[in-house]
Amino acid sequence: MTDPRFTFANERTFLAWVRTALGMIAGAAALHALDTGWPDAAVRVMSAALALTAGAVSVLAWLRWRRAEAAIRDGVEVPPTSGHVVIAGVLAGVALMTLVLVLT
């Protein structure tokens, strides 16, 4: 029998990924709604990047949860994830664009 603590920990990890996606959606909407004075194209690109990444993070979260749950049930090692790279890459890009826009 599987220890339920592992399943609960897996669920908490899934929910953390979902919270990250929700934060990215909120950031995309706020960026699009605020009048920053930045070029409209730049704001649209950054908002779209955040929103698209939020969707990808949601899918990755579910896939990760499912793989981890199967590994826990089967008693094997949980496979590593590469989703962190997606989040970090997009956020670094948006942060760089924001820095450039703020300084110009």
Residue 100 pLDDT > 90? yes
pLDDT tens for 44-87 read 999 999 999 999 999 999 999 999 999 999 999 988 887 788 88
Q: State the chain's mean pLDDT as an integer.
A: 92
**pLDDT score for 86:** 81
Q: Where are the alpha helices (DSSP H) in the chain?
A: 4-33, 40-74, 83-103
Contacts of 36 (CB under 8 A, 6+ apart): 43, 101
